[in-house]
Structure 1
Amino acid sequence: MDDPARVTVEADGDAARETVYDTEGEVEAGGATFRFSVGGASDDGDDAGETAGNDDGNPDVDEDGTGGDPLFVASLSEVPTDSTIRRTAMWPDDRRGVGFILRRDAETDEVFAWRNSCPHKPEVPLDPGRGARVDGGEIVCHEHGARFECGDGLCTWGPCVGEELDPVGVEVRDGDVYLDDERFASVRPR
């Protein structure tokens, strides 16, 4: 979820209020449990995600037009050529995710994606939330100026010269970008 949501559950005179930062979970109050899954993802294998749809009652298409495809990353037009966008790839057996960034080549429309992490200091994101700086076609680490080629993520200057960014597999189909990396099961906005 881009922004946290406030969830309130009231049952039998009891109320529980929580701020939710994830795309799925549960809130309990007075013996009642509210389970939610944003985007139709469901871990329990039942058909609950199939009945959720947009306001027009169509269960096959979400409001963003993706059909609820858990591998949808972004429309091609959303991926910048002069900066990056952030997303989170989710592990299949866990609720943890890995932040990654995407950038589009202006000439070919090819999209490249890497973990949002500098090899020099892995705790430092290349895109801290406003888009990574791109200079001369290279992504520049905001903390110490390391420069990375767009294609293979090779560091050409800085404290990690010769190292590469960890790639995340994506593919472009019909004007949209999809996750194509066997390590991950789904994508969420950030």
Structure 2
Amino acid sequence: MDEGIRVTVETPDESTSEHVFDSEGEVEAGDATVRFSVGDAGDSNGDSDRSGAGARDEESDGDDGDPLLVAPLADVPSDSTIRRTAMRPDGRRGVGIILRRDADSGEVFAWRNSCPHRPEVPLDPGRGARVDGGEIVCHKHGARFECGDGLCTWGPCVGEELDAVGVEVRDGSVYLDDERFASVRSR
């Protein structure tokens, strides 16, 4: 499953949305677990099983083969966002993330690509998130989020924050720096 599927699990108290790059698996939110199998995943030939290490090797964006390389710093915009998928250590599940550079400080920030109001709604649907007055704007509900801490300043989720993803800039590139994830995919 090169493109993966997006799986969202909602409970009254929690919601999570992840990209899954395997034909079977599970996603959890609070006390709820969704297990799924797509197509011939139940076959015992083992073709659908990808080891975490092999999957990480395939996902590197960088010329140097570093699986944590997200993008060259010059590719991270200040007037929009770029999308990537941060892969879990198992190499089969990932979370859509977005990155934006602050125009004034040059600092790079990354968050989960989902609105806290409705986690299944990506802030960047594929053409870059809208940025207005330095804030990211949800294309579906109009919620506005500060660039730094991701605090919602207006909209249905005011007071909530985007789920921050750790990144660091070194040698002119942006690298994933978050223990929840083991590698990055460009899609």
Common fold, TM-score beyond 0.5?
yes
Task: Provide Cα deviations, 1:133-153, integer angstroms capped at 9, x if missing partner.
Answer: 000000000001000000000
Equivalent of 1:187 in 178, 184, 187? 184
Pick aligned residue for 1:167 from 159, 164, 167: 164
2:105 alignment partner in structure 1: 108
Match of 1:136 among 121, 124, 133: 133
> Which amino acid is 1:68 matched to?
G
Q: Secondary structure at the match of 2:163?
A: coil
Secondary structure of 2:54's aligned partner: coil
Match of 2:15 in 1: none
Structure number, greater radius of gyration: 1
The Cα of 1:184 is off from its aligned counterpart by: 0.3
Q: Distance in 2 between matches of 1:104 and 1:116?
A: 15
Q: Which secondary structure does the structure 2 equivalent of 1:42 belong to?
A: helix
TM-score by length of 1: 0.69
1:33-182 equivalences in 2 (<5 Å): 42=54, 66-182=63-179
Matched pairs, number: 149
Could you tell me how far apart the structure 1 residues matched to 2:165 and 2:71 are? 14
- Residues 13-67 of structure 1, C-alpha deviation per residue, up to 9 Å, x if partnerless? xxxxxx8436x99xxxxxxxx99x9xxx6269xxxx6xx9xxxxxxxxx9x7531
Task: Report 1:4-15 matches (<5 A).
Answer: none
Q: Please name the residue that 1:14 is paired with.
A: none
SS in 1 for 2:175: strand
Cα pair distance change 1:65/1:88, threshold 3 Å: closer
- The CA RMSD over aligned residues, in Å, is 3.1
TM-score (normalizing by structure 2)? 0.70
Per the TM alignment, residue 94 of structure 1 is displaced from its structure 2 partner at its CA by 4.3
Structure 1 unaligned spans of 5+ = 1-18, 26-33, 53-61
Give the one of 21, 26, 49 matched to 2:3. Answer: 21
Q: Deviations over 1:143-187 (max 9, x none)?
A: 010000000000000000000000000000011000000000000
Task: Return the alpha-carbon distance in structure 2 between the equivalents of residues 133 and 91 of structure 1.
Answer: 27
Give me the whole-angstrom Cα distance separating, in 2, the residues matched to 1:43 and 1:82: 32
The aligned amino acid for 1:42 is G
Greater mean deviation of Cα atoms: 80-89 or 90-99 = 90-99
| Unpaired segments ≥5 residues, structure 2 | 5-20, 23-46
Provide the identity percentage: 77
**Structure showing greater relative contact order (alpha-carbon pairs closer than 8 Å, 6 or more residues apart):** 2
CA distance in 2, matches of 1:79, 1:106: 11
